[in-house]
Amino acid sequence: MTDATQTRHVPDRLNSRAARIFKSWEALLLAVAIAIFVINSFASPYFLSAWNLSDATFNFTEKAMIAFAMALLIISGEIDLSVASIIALASTAMGLALQYGAGTPELVIIGLTVGVLCGAFNGFFVTGLGLPSIVVTIGTMSLFRGISFIILGDDAFRGYPASFSWFGQGYIYWVFTVEMLLFVIIAIIYGVLLHKTNFGRAVYAIGNNPTGALFSGIRVARVKFILFLLTGLMSGIAAVCLTSRLGSTRPSIATGMELEVVTMVVLGGVNILGGSGTIPGVVIAAFVMGLVTFGLGLLNVPGIVMSIFIGLLLIGVIALPRLWSMAAAGRKS
């Protein structure tokens, strides 16, 4: 808060690019990812197999697609807890269309459209009516999945066409899956959108100070609405992939996935209160979560126990730096 150290000529940057990267959250996270990779490869002889690693990516590709859009939404100071329910509703809509003889292209279009519509619904309540997104999306989380339950009850839709299975089960080349390709493309698109465009800058401005952003001539409501649309669209894409991979639709599909998506985003260094975070961080976080899940899977640790690790990871990555700085402050005084 002092101007004492400041000079009349104001330089552009204080720290070099290298220093900034070195000190970043992403660098720390990358180190964690490498450590896990090394530990895993020692712990299990099956880990370093191309096919096994390829299988492991299914653990995170669908979630990560949503996580990229969610990252932007959280940076802007909002949240969408209904993403898993959007998957359920989109998948149910595809299953319903299947009963009326829809082919693969129609299924995909329907899945994506339902996703976008759900996003628009959330966006309307949040930006149109000015309601808190956490409450709205807790509501739509019940509503969207509830509609799936009304349509399906205890039943399931099956019998998706063979060509539809390409999205969730297909390979582009050797061990590289279609989902991996989608993951990479979407990561690049969101990376560019957030870090290289005016839109991305507006997202950061809104997240740091929505009132200030509005007073700076940014169309805050419009930006937020678009972010909800994008999150809905990504959920629609994830619904296509997941439905294709499972080959069936149940109303309970993707239950609890919203929490894993939020965990991935927060682990990636996005501030849950908005204003900061990066796409590379989320990408690394996706790998970390995938590696942990896969490594523990190879060691025959059941899925529910893995969730303990995910939970600990979520709290630990935020708590440890704070504990460390508290300890450092304690030593000083």
Binding residues for another protein restricted to 150-179, rule: CB under 8 A: 150, 152-153
User: Does 327 participate in binding another protein (rule CB under 8 A)?
Assistant: no
User: Does 50 participate in binding another protein (rule CB under 8 A)?
Assistant: no
Name residues contacting another protein, limited to 11-40 (CB under 8 A): 11-14
Of 25 and 125, nearer to another protein (C-beta) is 125
Name residues contacting another protein, limited to 281-320 (CB under 8 A): 302, 304-308, 310-312, 314-315, 318-319
* Cα 235 to Cα 241: distance, rounded to the nearest angstrom: 10
End-to-end Cα separation, the chain, in angstroms: 22
* Cα 90 to Cα 38: distance, rounded to the nearest angstrom: 39
Name residues contacting another protein, limited to 239-258 (CB under 8 A): 251, 255
Taking CB under 8 A as the criterion, the residue among 31, 159, 196, 327 binding another protein is 196
Q: What tokens does 1 get?
A: 């808060």
Could you give the 3-state DSSP secondary structure of residue 20? helix
User: Does 10 participate in binding another protein (rule CB under 8 A)?
Assistant: yes
Minimum CB–partner distance for residue 116 and another protein (Å):
19
Q: Which of 298, 271, 106 is nearest to 203 (CA)?
A: 271
Of 68 and 121, nearer to another protein (C-beta) is 121
Taking CB under 8 A as the criterion, the residue among 18, 129, 162, 328 binding another protein is 129
* Cα 332 to Cα 30: distance, rounded to the nearest angstrom: 30
Minimum CB–partner distance for residue 165 and another protein (Å):
28
Taking CB under 8 A as the criterion, the residue among 138, 180, 181, 298 binding another protein is 138
Instruction: Give phi and psi for 172, each to the nearest 5.
Output: -80, -50
Of 163 and 325, nearer to another protein (C-beta) is 325
User: Does 213 participate in binding another protein (rule CB under 8 A)?
Assistant: yes
Q: What tokens does 310 get?
A: 């995910």
User: Does 126 participate in binding another protein (rule CB under 8 A)?
Assistant: no
Q: Tell me if 277 sits within 8 A of 270, measured CB to CB.
A: yes
User: Does 214 participate in binding another protein (rule CB under 8 A)?
Assistant: yes
* Cα 244 to Cα 167: distance, rounded to the nearest angstrom: 6
Q: Alpha carbon 29 to chain centroid distance? A: 16
Of 110 and 314, nearer to another protein (C-beta) is 314
Taking CB under 8 A as the criterion, the residue among 41, 142, 163, 248 binding another protein is 142
How distant, in Å, are the alpha carbons of 194, 196, 221, 268, 280 from that of 189? 9, 10, 22, 17, 12
